[in-house]
Structure 1
């Protein structure tokens, strides 16, 4: 794990563990899936889905899918806003969650974050702790204006890296009545300190020096450079287990999507800059008295993020550990993700 440099943690650029192979990739062999119309899950017969757009506070147009239960009647619905994982798009995990929660009677929007997927923002392939937090609140704006939604009953679900942004958005946006996360990552922590806070001050300084020099190169070239692709085309076989698990989701028919940076692209090289000095969960206690549910896999490499937030958060809070599950199991395995628990949590707390 010593090879897990801060840069790797920052951009989830797993390719340093693998060769830049020129062998055939999944997306080359499955061109029919390289369209925005492809979803990695089947839409429920009891749910409708409609593509929508809305703007965030920075004027960026976001693209989302609005999921509604069929035959909901005239009663106003409780609503949920969902995004994640970090580097994914709405046709992957967030859409699957939205589909499942709409089946249970909620109005739900799953959206692509700014600068990624079908959402706007330039340059492309960029993330920001402030803007991605704002994206959640912009989605709350949108869904709360729907005539069939009770704006006093809105919750958030954040998956993976967007679990951290979800908590940050809930802390600052008092319209959100309850928040749940699955396979939580605190992206500001992992980018600035590495996995398990293993980055030394010297390593951090070196990374910041490299990023600063990259800014000169970007300024000279007139555009920002892309980093290494987030996942390679093939694995050698000697990668860490969690790398293999990411690959199994993003780079196979299970979860591949052409618009997803983790399936098919790379973050900008300077993407970590805005994360390095901005811990997003400083005010996590201010979520209270609104309830928080943290869900993590027993065998997930990311489990410590949820456990540490649970320790630092104020009541009411709950930590749910899923036996035998790994990080990516909570992306799409409907028999592992505790949807009944999520339904009960939001039904109880969106009052």
Structure 2
């Protein structure tokens, strides 16, 4: 375990990472989406909870302010930042005639928050709601939806379960945990109990000293990291690892809420039209099927081809997914 010199008064840039224990195999060389390939965006900010969310807003080419467009808030993997997979999909949706907003959750990236790198699904769900309120207030928006990639696929279910502004929902390579599943990932109840104890100890230390203890989010073969599996996307400087605001850190006090992450429980409350895109090579496909079966509203499950990280930035995979996601939102956000 490492300790970073982050205090309540320190504002650091955040990491982006997923916390799925998934070995995706060797990286197949293919064209990656890059910042240069995205449409131009404009930085915006808006209030959420006790702080501020910073986001990149992508407008369709030839945007006409007198028209009204479907609008979608987009977020990515556990502790990711808006310049990673969220930005990739927001840019692709803008190319397809949708206003798209890629966000930094509070405590990550450029957004506010004293407890940097801290995982909190209730806070994240509120940030997605705040993003929808921001979009809905624009005169060029006719309807609003959510797109969640990896962990934010699960987070989006929390928001969609309670927020009527989620008029349509899509997930790509979603990570859909529940407590029993988390226990399997972390070595049974003993592993869960150890992490929860560490979480509570770290929180007490933060409350007493302002110091945030962190561990590595990713470190192949390191069982003290959140994920010890191969995570090539985050270690490749031409991919997610090259995003300057990315930091490979996870606040230890976040273990308890992370283990409690339960989008499966939220699924029966989701009545908005939903599209799920997944594959046998993406994170835990049986969990994705389980969530799909539980969704209460109109739904579609598209079974694609690709490894988990292919859905983050590999051009062909992302563009094919974006085609389906955009078609879904154009048909539902009317």
Tell me the alpha carbon deviations over residues 109-161 of structure 1, each in whole angstroms, 9 at most, x when there is no partner.
101111001111012111201000111000001111112112xx111100111
Number of aligned residue pairs: give it: 299
- Is the Cα–Cα contact under 8 Å of residues 129 and 165 in structure 1 kept in the other structure? yes
Match of 1:68 in 2: 59
| Mapped partners of 2:181, 2:214: distance in 1 | 17
Match of 1:319 in 2: 301
2:285 to 303, 312, 325: 303
Match of 1:40 in 2: 34
CA displacement at 1:193 relative to structure 2? 2.4
Gap change, CA 1:41 and 1:187, over 3 Å in 2: farther
- Is the Cα–Cα contact under 8 Å of residues 48 and 67 in structure 1 kept in the other structure? yes
Match of 1:202 in 2: 190
CA displacement at 1:218 relative to structure 2? 4.1
| Paired residue secondary structure (1:109) | strand
| Mapped partners of 2:179, 2:171: distance in 1 | 16
| Mapped partners of 1:60, 1:200: distance in 2 | 36
Moved more, 328-337 or 298-307: 298-307
| Paired residue secondary structure (1:100) | helix
CA displacement at 1:191 relative to structure 2? 8.1
Match of 2:126 in 1: 134
| Mapped partners of 1:67, 1:292: distance in 2 | 22
1:335 to 302, 306, 316: 316
CA displacement at 1:277 relative to structure 2? 3.9
TM-score of the aligned structures, taking structure 2 as reference length = 0.81
TM-score of the aligned structures, taking structure 1 as reference length = 0.77
Match of 1:259 in 2: 245
CA displacement at 1:190 relative to structure 2? 8.0
Gap change, CA 1:119 and 1:111, over 3 Å in 2: same
- Is the Cα–Cα contact under 8 Å of residues 11 and 271 in structure 1 kept in the other structure? no
| Mapped partners of 1:190, 1:208: distance in 2 | 14
- Is the Cα–Cα contact under 8 Å of residues 83 and 158 in structure 1 kept in the other structure? yes
Tell me the alpha carbon deviations over residues 225-279 of structure 1, each in whole angstroms, 9 at most, x when there is no partner.
122x2234x889xxxx9933x224443312221212xxx3311111112234463
Gap change, CA 1:166 and 1:278, over 3 Å in 2: closer
2:111 to 102, 110, 119: 119
Gap change, CA 1:249 and 1:320, over 3 Å in 2: farther
- Is the Cα–Cα contact under 8 Å of residues 157 and 179 in structure 1 kept in the other structure? yes
Query: Equivalences for 1:1-351 in 2 at 5 Å?
Result: 12=19, 40-44=34-38, 47-56=39-48, 58-73=49-64, 74-150=66-142, 153-186=143-176, 189=179, 192-195=182-185, 199-219=187-207, 221-227=209-215, 229-232=216-219, 243-244=229-230, 246-256=231-241, 257-260=243-246, 264-277=247-260, 279-288=262-271, 290-323=272-305, 325-337=306-318, 338-351=321-334
Match of 1:18 in 2: none
- Is the Cα–Cα contact under 8 Å of residues 178 and 346 in structure 1 kept in the other structure? yes
| Mapped partners of 2:328, 2:18: distance in 1 | 32
